[in-house]
Amino acid sequence: MYLSRIRVTLRPSILDPQGKAVEHAIGTLGVGAVHGVRMGKYIEMKVEGATEAEARKVTEEVCRKLLANPVMEDFQYDIAKI
Amino acid sequence: MYLSRIRVTLRPSILDPQGKAVEHAIGTLGVGAVHGVRMGKYIEMKVEGATEAEARKVTEEVCRKLLANPVMEDFQYDIAKI
């Protein structure tokens, strides 16, 4: 079994109002200079598969078909045997 | 300047109905056996700071005070010089 850790992020050209709101809120905390905040999704899932290649294929397909909107989002993932 | 990549996840004891819904949707795709889907947040931000220790401190404080709900969520992050 493999653990897939997936990060779905907005493409750089897409505006991120949620990120802007968080950036503003961080400013009010007074903890230091933070900018370029971008919000994304993080997904963990367990994939049954005999090989890492198989788990990678399932993860890739789930990302492309379900988790990421290909018009606005990119995805990255890493896979670890568990 | 440093890039902080933060993952905020629900604690294992907290139910995750969004993850369950995604898991069900993955089942209907017919791509393979996937279970234990957990949804979280992924945040990228740029932190000004002279040293990595300083950037780490700012990131930690932002996570504790703003990004993660300590009752229900855990956070992890990594920091890279950019």
Q: Give the domain ranges of chain B.
A: 2-81
Buried b (16+ CB within 10 A) or exposed e, B52-77: eeebbebbeebbeeebbeeeebbbeb
Q: Which residue of A has its CA nearest to B40?
A: A42
ipTM for this model: 0.91
pTM of the model: 0.92
- Name the class of domain A2-81: alpha beta
Chain B residues whose C-beta is within 8 A of a chain A C-beta are 5, 7-9, 19, 22-23, 25-26, 29, 31-49, 54, 57-58, 61-62, 65-67
What is the DSSP secondary structure assignment for residue A3, as one 8-state letter? E
B22-37 pLDDT, tens digit per residue, is 999 999 998 889 999 9
Q: What is the mean pLDDT of residues A55-79?
A: 95
Q: How confident is the model at residue B75 (pLDDT cuts 50, 70, 90)?
A: very high
CA distance B26 to B37: 10
CB B38 within 8 A of CB B16: yes
Q: H or E element: which one contains B31?
A: none
| pLDDT at A80 > cutoff 90 | yes
Q: Which of B43, B48, B51, B59 to mutate to test the interface with A (most CBs of A within 10 A)?
A: B43
